[in-house]
Amino acid sequence: MSWRCHTYTRRAKNLGASPVKEICMMERRTLGTNGLEVSAIGLGCMGLTGAWGAAPDRADLEALIAAAIDQGVTFFDTAQVYGPLTNEALMGELLAPYRGRVQIATKFGWATGENGKPDGMRTDSRPEHIKAGVEGSLQRLGVETIDLFYQHRVDPNVPIEEVAGAVKELVAAGKVRHFGMSEAAATTIRRAHAVHPVAAVQSEYSIWWRRPEEAVLAACDELGIGFVPFSPLGKGFLTGTVDATTTFAENDLRNRIPRFDAENRAANLAIVRLLEEIGARKHASPAQIALAWLLAQRPYIVPIPGTRRLDRLTENNGGAAIHLDEADVHDIAEAAAQIQIIGARYPEFHEARTNL
């Protein structure tokens, strides 16, 4: 894909000695076969309501979203369970001034707890639950139609054909434009796609978590489905700003992730050193190389790094300006394959709900 970028003079600041590419206005990519066009890099918004520590001030959030729009980001990712519910409401307010210029993705499929909010512990993709949930999402987001509606996790108790059928009805009713799936296996994706076209699959994918390469990306190739990597920077680890001595806020999700145990972090720094080495040659930061590597995998891949900081936003978006040729991509993958990553990416109970 050609990456001719419009001139954009702002440069990332406060990034220490790390080399950083100048940011440019991004090209756009298409997810699926029905014309869902989005920016090549999106913004994962889960952390804006405090998943990685205290939530930022409202003025800082408004500045972050304005900068993202200014830099060409049009694709914003939220979910019913983030907050829970408060993240959708926040994004509805923050993106209201940009209606018609952005695409919003949200997710359904968690059971409702005693407080009436999704609890993230039990799946519930019964058609009646999906249809009731979409009404709340529409209200909180302040839109008439949701651009991309993902099943957040596959529900083993509900046939995927019923889920796809329910979303198909929502599309026909004008409440949803495109259907997506998250952390689903290739066989499940094919079954759903046979009922209603899947525009995008969102799963974790990065240079240190490559499971989608085993079968899911081949299914996307075959069916014309876009792929949206979440945690493309390894929940911050691939930025080079986390090491064995880093401490996280008490409510930071990484405190519960085995891969982020201090001992494991020390061992896993080898993958960061590889990105730093490539970055030195390309005059780019480790984060930018990690994102450029993903963008080079397929023309339909759209990573959604999350951040709450303006400097990191600009740094991440600069990854779209970096060209990695076929040899670069191969060399990075080959070198990464020689590095053993230590620790599971999720606690065991959470991992059991993925790749169904």
Strand-pair partners of 205: none
**Single-letter amino acid, residue 348:** E
Provide φ and ψ at 228, rounded to 5°: -120, 100
Residue carrying the six token digits 């702002």: 10
CA angle 139, 202, 235 (to 5 degrees): 100
Residue carrying the six token digits 């080898």: 270
Asked if residue 217 lies in contact with residue 211, where contact means CB atoms within 8 angstroms, the answer is no
Q: Would you give the end-to-end CA distance of the chain in angstroms?
A: 32
Q: Which three-class secondary structure state does DSSP give residue 199? A: strand
Among 301, 159, 132, smallest CA distance to 216 is for 301
- Burial of residue 223 (CB within 10 Å: 0-12, 13-18, 19+) is middle
Instruction: Give the integer Cα–Cα distance in Å for 30 and 149.
Output: 16
Provide φ and ψ at 141, rounded to 5°: -75, -15
Any idea which residues carry the catalytic annotation?
Answer: 82
What letter would DSSP give residue 14? S
- Distances in Å between the Cα of 80 and the Cα atoms of 5, 63, 235, 277, 300 are 34, 24, 20, 39, 25
